[in-house]
Structure 1
Amino acid sequence: MMARGLELVGKLGLYIVSARILGVHESGYFFLCLTWIGVLATVSRGGFERAVVRHVAAELAVGKGRAAGHAFLAGALAVLMLGLVVSIATGALSAPIATYLFRDPEAARPLFLAAFVILPQALCYFVGNALMGLHKSAWGQLVQNGLWPLFTLAALFAGVHSLDGILCALAAANAAATAIGAALVFRERHRFVDAPSETANAERLPALWRTAMPLAVVETVQILLPALPVLLLASFGLPAQVGAFSVASRISMLTWVVSASIGSVAAPSFAARHRQGRWDELRQLNRKVRLAVALFSAPLLAGMFFFPATLLHLVGPGFEIASTALVILAVGQLVYALLPCQEIVLAMAGHGGILRWLTVAQTVVCLVLCVLLIPPFGMIGAAIATAVFAAQLAIGSAVAVRRLMPRAF
């Protein structure tokens, strides 16, 4: 939670300071680039970042350290290659994307610079998840989510005040965080050796890429769904609306940040308990996770429901236009806060296929709602679509865990 606290300070500070420096218009391009980077960095990871958590934690739980080390190296190589391809393609196609997708040729240069962030961010997230698989969850959270916002924010305070400069600082910050994470994994290299274990003859895990394939769909959809309303709003609305809604969306996601932090800490233990067949311990851990998320999310949700304009005004003048959207977004986050982290349980127990179908259903619902609601209603339509798919994941994954693993719920 302390690592996530630093993330909250870093990200909120980055969003607020960037919005104040750039203004409502240019901040629209900045948040559009953040969304674009998030989507393509997730595609670049190919599901290997979630798969490496399960494989490293589960193999170490039964004494198979060499298999855990092999999983890390194979995943890192896959992410490196995918990230290079996606980054080069994005940079080369930045002008057509700006002109034909977003109908704004001025977005071409920011999108071109954003391409340099994709690979280091993909590697940063992968290394952070590898640390979580090693049960170094605090360090993993810090590398994955805490360091790069703080480094970028430091660059802003050092005098980087242009959109181009901020995007370049973002790329450098992700590269630095990746280097720190890689050094921390290297420090744990002594654990990648086989050790005696009572469960050494446990059933062999599938190949890493087999675990990653369904999770690639899940991870891409999970990052694309929050991005989709922003991207469509960019096509139908003004940059000021994109900037205001992006800020409101990121404020509402604070409850997801809390859930993700607690769920990420618990993820390797979910994988280990499932591999060892300790169902009572898995159920107790799952219940503690749900209770902790609900307790930590309550004050955040109260602020969004009762003081939306105040929260948005803290970012800067003009962002209050998204007050109603923030309240709607908070409704979806409330449902998720009551049934959190069950998608993580499914992933760590090897039910990635079920999770993939749940996210496909989310995608269909989100697409339909975005197409129907964003053109006529703008930010409000985007907020409704976002709230619905957040609630849909919580309910769907909880039902799936209850049916597939009743002893874990």
Structure 2
Amino acid sequence: MGRGAKTLLSPAGIAARIRSFLLDRSDQSIAQRMAGAAFLIRVLSAGIAYVSQVLMARWMGGSEFGTYVSVWVWVLLIGHFANAGLASAAQRFVPEYAERGDHEGLRGFLAGGRRLGVVIATLIAAAGLAVLWRFGHLFTGAMVMPLALAALCLPMFVLTDIQDGIARSWNWTDLALGPPYLIRPFILLGCMAGGHFAGFESNAVTAMGCAVVATWAAAVIQFVLLNRRIAGRVEAGPQRTETLFWLKTSLPIFVVETFYLALTYTDVVLLKQLRGPEEVAVYWAAVKTLALVAFVYFAVAAAAAHRFSEYHVAGDKQKLADFLRASIRWTFFPSLAATILILALGKPFLMMFGPDYVKGYPAMFVVSVGLLARAAAGPVERLLTMSGHQTACALIYGGAFVAAVVLCLLLIPPFGMMGAAIATAAALTLESALLVWVTTARLGLSASFWIKPAAA
């Protein structure tokens, strides 16, 4: 080994390289740091959530835990829908208003966009409570009260989502992801543990009550901290509200996200309807164990969306092509490593939930195929959405969702959770292949981690 190599591998050399990376202000370095921070937060969140779910599964039993999981999935699903695309659109509005020097519009969106999201979510929650009051007798008795409590989560869940998008636009990863992914699950775990050891019954109602407390507390903390940080970036002054313009821009993005989220939770929802809560609990544990793989995609997408928007608005095709290639590399190779690691340790992880949960181990291998297919495409969905091709993106996700529903209906009755896993993997693979094809056809960019994309 030469002197140069030894110098690079020495403590001083390593420290110098780390210092250089941390101080590098290039767009790709900032994006890498943002993606790394997002990934770290999601991993820490997964640790808290994993401990929470293991303890809750043991305290509550399979049936009650399965009911809680099913209801919380509805909170995630409807909560992300209820922001009407404003959370993702924030990553277009904030950079665009700032780039144009439109401070009135920027101040208007920072305040009015959040108000609009909370109003929409409150109306949806009120409608849900009205349905439960009128038609509650049609639901399983164990589901009514947890669903009512779930409705109370929606306004603050949506507020957190939109504040997440605003914070990402300024690369404030800690403020974007810390409250929903660290503070909220930590408070949930604390409430459940306190209730359990205080002698309260550990059931789905108790768990959803704790979820309400955690969701509201995290949203309020994030609101206060975000306002303080915005005050240091945006001077106080007049505001301009452009509600129709915001909705016109965000609703196509909402359609994309609707199908994306529907595809994400279709397997769990249909498994609950076609099998039973115990099998849902086992499958949920298996899928959550694979969360580290999905975190890589999430982290890179969190760092990439507003960059795609900036380069597209600026018309810089070469930067767009280079950044796309880099973001796909950042997604695929870490996802592959995480998949190998998790599958190797899958059984011990599932044993933490209880002996019966090991039955979900084979399903992990199947679902991982779909996750790797998505990783191989990278965050091209964000690129298409931020470059005005959200309609094509929505059609792709709509097709993948329909495929997932049909396959779940065909495969879950005979094969149970393995059928759900096969349906999910097939739908994710179809989705990824179509996204890559459209990216090449519409933008002239090769969405590949081994071929350098050429700008059209």
Q: TM-score, normalised by structure 1?
A: 0.89
Cα distance change, pair 94–329 in 1 and its aligned pair in 2 (3 A): farther
Q: Which residue of 2 aligns with 1:327?
A: 365
Q: Which residue of 2 aligns with 1:9?
A: 47
2:436 is the alignment partner of 1:381: no
Rounded to whole Å, the distance in 1 between the matches of 2:385 and 2:93 is: 11
Q: Which residue of 2 aligns with 1:113?
A: 149
Unaligned runs of 5+ in 1: 195-205
Counterpart among 220, 231, 241 of residue 179 in structure 1: 220
2:206 is the alignment partner of 1:165: yes
Tell me which amino acid in the other structure corresponds to 1:156: M
2:338 is the alignment partner of 1:262: no
Deviates more, 1:41-50 or 1:150-159: 150-159
Matches within 5 A, 1:191-340: 191-192=233-234, 207-340=245-378
Report the number of matched residues.
Answer: 396
SS at match of 1:233: helix
Deviates more, 1:156-165 or 1:116-125: 156-165
The answer to whether the Cα contact below 8 Å between 1:53 and 1:129 also exists between their aligned partners in 2 is yes
Cα distance change, pair 73–397 in 1 and its aligned pair in 2 (3 A): farther
SS at match of 1:158: helix
2:174 is the alignment partner of 1:138: yes
Cα distance change, pair 7–231 in 1 and its aligned pair in 2 (3 A): same
Structure possessing the higher radius of gyration over alpha carbons? 2
Deviates more, 1:302-311 or 1:27-36: 302-311
SS at match of 2:101: coil
Q: Which residue of 1 aligns with 2:430?
A: 392
Tell me which amino acid in the other structure corresponds to 2:231: R
* Residue 330 (structure 1) shift: 0.9
The answer to whether the Cα contact below 8 Å between 1:46 and 1:79 also exists between their aligned partners in 2 is yes
Cα distance change, pair 184–294 in 1 and its aligned pair in 2 (3 A): same
Rounded to whole Å, the distance in 2 between the matches of 1:64 and 1:185 is: 20
The answer to whether the Cα contact below 8 Å between 1:127 and 1:144 also exists between their aligned partners in 2 is no
* Residue 162 (structure 1) shift: 4.0
- CA shift digits 1:319-359 (9 cap, x unpaired): 11212211111111111122121111112223222211111
Tell me which amino acid in the other structure corresponds to 2:172: K
2:106 is the alignment partner of 1:68: yes
Q: Which residue of 2 aligns with 1:197?
A: none
The answer to whether the Cα contact below 8 Å between 2:65 and 2:203 also exists between their aligned partners in 1 is no
Q: TM-score, normalised by structure 2?
A: 0.81
Rounded to whole Å, the distance in 1 between the matches of 2:249 and 2:113 is: 11
Q: State the percentage of identical aligned residues.
A: 22
**CA RMSD for the aligned pairs?**
2.3
Q: Which residue of 2 aligns with 1:203?
A: none
Unaligned runs of 5+ in 2: 1-36, 197-201, 237-243, 447-452
Cα distance change, pair 392–72 in 1 and its aligned pair in 2 (3 A): farther
* Residue 75 (structure 1) shift: 2.3
Rounded to whole Å, the distance in 1 between the matches of 2:102 and 2:316 is: 18
- CA shift digits 1:166-224 (9 cap, x unpaired): 21221121212212222233121354469xxxxxxxxxxx9221221111112122222
Rounded to whole Å, the distance in 2 between the matches of 1:402 and 1:182 is: 40
- CA shift digits 1:376-399 (9 cap, x unpaired): 221111111111222223222222
* Residue 96 (structure 1) shift: 7.4
